[in-house]
Structure 1
Amino acid sequence: METTPASPRRRWSLIGPGLVAAATGVGAGDLVATLVAGSRFGYALLWAAIVGAIVKVALAEGVGRWTLSTGRTMFDGWSSLPGGAGRLNWATLYFAIYVVIWGFVYGATAMTASALPLAALIPGADIKLIGMASGLIGLGLVWFGGYGLFEKVMAGLVGVMFVTVVGLALIVAPDVPRLFTGLWPTLPEGSGFYTLGLIGGVGGTITMAAYGYWLNAKGWRGPEWMGTMRIDNRVAYAVTALFVIAMLVVGAELLFAAGVALQSGDRGLLDLGEVLADRFGRGVATLFLIGFWAAGFTSLIGVWQGVGLLFADFWAHMTGRAGEEAVRGQKSPAARAYMLWLTFPPMALLFLERPFALIVAYGVLGSLFMPFLAGTLIWLLNSPRTPPEWRNGWVSNLLLGAAALLFAVLAEREILGLL
């Protein structure tokens, strides 16, 4: 654990919490959404992927700046907002309801996403059993291991994703001149919702709020770590943007020209595995499925660890013990109780043969947190709660305001789709 600020040269060697947050936010379903965008519109929406990365940098930087400049967590900030009675206000009540419902749905989704590629690699394997085993392995990792081990495992899995996803983009040989044409913002007919999804969906979940907790776990405390945090954050989301661009390349080169359609959701990546096996051989398809698994499992363990910390902080505030580190840490009873909530009750949902309601519920719930995070960051970072020198400038306000508006539109889309 680092306890003193790094020199400018050493900052590059300390990158970690941002990579954890970014990798947790890039799930298998996000990769499918990017593939579908590439398969339908070629490179036309490349600019949207880059804008999405910039939006995520602004959100994560806001979380990090709040944490380092004030020495307080995101939940400290939410609990300081007005409008409520006792220890509950509108923000903490929203979080409490959201985190319980979302955790139940997400647990099943994450276990399924981790199981699908393994089931494809093991003929006759039962997706339900592999999903439950994935949940238990993830639980064991965050239950018994500390942050250091967790970060190393995440970095290793990101390395696997990098080799497979970026390697696949190189194998399909991108048309570089045509790729650069996608940098100019255009909206092909019928691309509106895909554009919004590409900007807002990749790399953005409730775990963005956990970034500050991972900074503290790393030992970065105080404004003197601001420069290190900003490098960490920008490099992490640059890697995320590279993943998105690579999958857009695959969609454009492998699927767009051939007119291949993918299934929606995580199963679309299994379709791509079959296309790869036909085009490049079973070895390439196998490596891709391993990368697919890494994307799913990073999201699983990132949520088990990061949202567990958020819930523990919530519980510490509700019980009047917010100042006690043992009550709000990774090994606290509340954090472990939430990890169990993510693991065992959702296993019942794995036995649904066609979990349409589960998929719809996850889409709606996932869209409802990011407007909350962006909006509360604008409030906190423009208020006297933040030291004057670290409050928002006009660029930060513009980016966070755009993020709040974007995610609100995405949430409206999901809710209208449900109705």
Structure 2
Amino acid sequence: MQKISASETTGSTFRRRIAERLFFLGPVLILAIEVSGESGIVEIFGAGRATGYSLLWICAVALIYKYAFAYGIARYTLATGKTIFSGLRSIPGPRNWEVTFITIIYILEMIAYGGFLIIGAHFLYYLIPFDIPILIIAILTLAAIIVILWKGSYERFEHLILGMVLLLFVGFIFSLTALHIPFTEVAEGFIPYIHENNLLWKMALLGAVGAGLNILLYSVWLHEKTGGKPCTDDLPEKMRIIRGDLLIGFGFIAFMSFVFLSIGASYQGAPHLEMANSAVAVSGHILMTIPYAAPLIIFSSFILLAGTVISGIDGRARAVCGILREAGGVQVAPKRLYRLILLGFSAMIFTAFFISKPEYLIKNVSIFSSILFAVIGFGLIYIDNRLPKKHQGSRIWLAVMAAGSGLYLLIALLQEKSLLDFGLPLVERLAIVLLVLYFFVRSDLAEAYRRGVATRTDLLWLVLIFGILSVYGTLRGFQIDDVILNFRDLGPVLAGLIGGPLAGAAAGLIGGGYRYSLGGWTALPCAIATVAAGIIGGVARRYWETLTPLRLAILGVGVEALHILVIFPLFTLGYPQSQVIDVIRHTFPAMSLVMVAGLIMYLMVEDQFRRLSDMRDLVTWVRQDVDPDYDPKKEE
């Protein structure tokens, strides 16, 4: 029998320990490349150009909070063997409300990813020796991403991202050696200093560095890595490894943030540029100031943005796939569903290629993302508290999470002025809608539709009620130039859900007809879209036997996407594209939010009424069983 030497045993143990240390590194590096690219080009480069290195302390504060956020997510995932999205479903409130809104935001962010690929195409354009249109470069990049992700293999995807991280680290290390770094200014940048002139940049950096809701995707990749097996027996040891890996990952994020801040600082004093133009400006600036390093820096920027889109699509597809199967009851096989979501996301990105000013789309999507991220921070504390005592976070972790979540919520509300100006007042107007829905649900008319005995007279009343509600949605909207920000489509969709496509179309004719009578260059597409909304609501009801918040959220966003992203552009082809884009960026996010809120309010009122009705029926049955002469009608 061959003897095993002590050195061989030691070597084997060393390799095993190294393998254990590196096992969890993949998911955190995927997260690192995803969040670095999304925030670097847009906010961090702009902050460096506007404020130099003076806000480095803000970056440090943001990374500390988001490190704690990611650590809490990892602890839940390893302790339970579930993704964080399963845990979020346990937060009190309407069923699945958290994952519903996260799904909406993840879907909307695909439009922003089209902007990232266009920017990446700008970078690559500088390196190609022959003339290829930037749009073609972006389309080819998207096609390559679809091919890479099509198999849905996590291992293949992880190896690709790890290779990208290595290329980026080498490329941007070389970038820093090519740039002039004033170390005195860098050191001073870590000294906290508040000045009114850069308050907006402080708020922007707190949200941008380390990203926001994207951190939740870390749980998905960690779940894939572990195969969904909980690590309850050796959780403390696994969490020690996770702490080290998170330090590496967030160190990479800090490094990438510093690179983009430095590039922006070297371009300090330049006039404000839109995001796509910023990509051109960065490329041109690098070519002029450090020409010998320019090709590597520009290529690294393209790799970063491509890696951001690859990891962003994969993480969101896996997350939405899990949410649809768990919360939505979708019975499609995981791999097939992943591919369907991948194709859907790709179609949205492809559509975004033809929409100018991608920075506005990214900004409007972040309106809701930043607020929800802060709310989820408090939700993570709640979820952690429900774990067994030995698996819960420390007091230091709780303090960091509570302080950070409160600060982020305040900043999100202060920064996102458009939501305060338009979105919240629209929700306030929905209070009237809630009152109407409350009385309708309790009426004999609603009961007739529940029992399937509605008459033509009932149909007429249904159309009138929700047609007038559609008119009210226009009357109580906001006028922005020639555009009315409204919730006109809500009435016809509800009529369709209750009475079918005919009722929805008829209510849409009332609401759409009133909108058309007001005139304006958007009158015709808005009127047509209102009728289409009612028909879609009726068709959806025929396919869905039961309504859930997730289904209604998909319906609400889908209706507004058809209205604003399809019908509206088709019927305004003769008008300047800039005006069309302005309408889209002003209306789509806010109107989608309000539409979803209105539909879910209806579901909540209906469910509450059904529960009360079932309780009354149970009480009546019990009392009749005890007293055969009991008549509930006499008591009424």
Answer whether TM exceeds 0.5 for this pair. Answer: yes
Specify the alignment match of 1:120 in structure 2.
Answer: 126
1:355 positional shift: 4.9
Specify the alignment match of 2:575 in structure 1.
Answer: none
> Which ranges of structure 1 fall in alignment gaps of 5 or more residues?
1-5
Matched, 1:162 2:162: no
1:190 positional shift: 1.2
CA contact 2:68–2:400 (8 Å) conserved in 1: yes
Q: 1:240 to 1:345 in 2, by over 3 A?
A: closer
Q: Distance in 2 between matches of 1:412 and 1:319?
A: 30
Alignment of 1:236-251 (within 5 A): 236-251=249-264
Q: Distance in 1 between matches of 2:310 and 2:191?
A: 37
Q: Distance in 2 between matches of 1:92 and 1:251?
A: 36
CA contact 2:123–2:301 (8 Å) conserved in 1: yes
Q: Which runs of at least 4 in structure 1 moved beyond 4 Å after TM superposition?
A: 6-12, 319-322, 354-357
Specify the alignment match of 1:152 in structure 2.
Answer: 159
Deviations 1:167-218 (A, max 9, x none): 2222223222332122211124411121222222122143311212211222
Alignment of 1:199-348 (within 5 A): 199-219=206-226, 221=229, 222=231, 223=235, 224-252=237-265, 254-256=266-268, 259-261=269-271, 263-281=273-291, 283-320=292-329, 327-328=333-334, 332-348=335-351
Counterpart amino acid of 1:291? S
Equivalent residue in structure 2 for 1:380, among 380, 383, 391: 383
Give the SS at the match of 2:293: helix
1:320 positional shift: 4.3
Give the SS at the match of 1:344: helix
Give the SS at the match of 2:53: coil
Deviations 1:335-368 (A, max 9, x none): 2222112101331221134456524423324424
* Number of corresponding residues: 400
Specify the alignment match of 2:399 in structure 1.
Answer: 398
Q: Distance in 2 between matches of 1:167 and 1:266?
A: 24
Counterpart amino acid of 1:412? L
Q: Which has the higher contact order (CA 8 A, sep 6+)?
A: 1
Specify the alignment match of 1:3 in structure 2.
Answer: none
Give the SS at the match of 1:186: coil
Deviations 1:94-119 (A, max 9, x none): 2343333333x234233323322123
Taking every aligned residue pair, what percent have the same amino acid on both sides? 22
1:7 positional shift: 6.2
Give the SS at the match of 2:353: helix
Counterpart amino acid of 1:76? S
Matched, 1:38 2:38: no
Counterpart amino acid of 1:125? I
CA contact 1:114–1:134 (8 Å) conserved in 2: no
Give the SS at the match of 2:194: coil
Specify the alignment match of 2:503 in structure 1.
Answer: none
CA contact 2:112–2:352 (8 Å) conserved in 1: no
Q: 1:36 to 1:354 in 2, by over 3 A?
A: closer
Matched, 1:184 2:191: yes
Counterpart amino acid of 1:71? G
Q: Distance in 1 between matches of 2:103 and 2:162?
A: 30
Counterpart amino acid of 1:335? Y
Counterpart amino acid of 1:287? L
**Worse-superposed segment, 337-346 or 398-407:** 398-407
Alignment of 1:336-375 (within 5 A): 336-355=339-358, 357-375=360-378
Counterpart amino acid of 2:161? M
Asked which structure has the greater CA Rg, the reply is 2
Counterpart amino acid of 2:244? I
Specify the alignment match of 2:475 in structure 1.
Answer: none
Give the SS at the match of 1:174: coil
Q: 1:301 to 1:356 in 2, by over 3 A?
A: closer
Q: Distance in 1 between matches of 2:148 and 2:58?
A: 35
1:414 positional shift: 4.9
**Worse-superposed segment, 262-271 or 284-293:** 262-271
Deviations 1:231-269 (A, max 9, x none): 2112100111111123223333x223xx33452425313
Q: 1:402 to 1:30 in 2, by over 3 A?
A: farther
1:53 positional shift: 1.7
Deviations 1:155-178 (A, max 9, x none): 222222222333222222322233
Give the SS at the match of 1:26: helix
Q: 1:149 to 1:42 in 2, by over 3 A?
A: same
CA contact 2:105–2:369 (8 Å) conserved in 1: no
Q: Distance in 2 between matches of 1:116 and 1:374?
A: 36
Give the TM-score of the pair, scaled to structure 1.
0.86
CA contact 2:174–2:293 (8 Å) conserved in 1: no
Q: Distance in 1 between matches of 2:329 and 2:282?
A: 51
Q: Distance in 1 between matches of 2:364 and 2:404?
A: 22
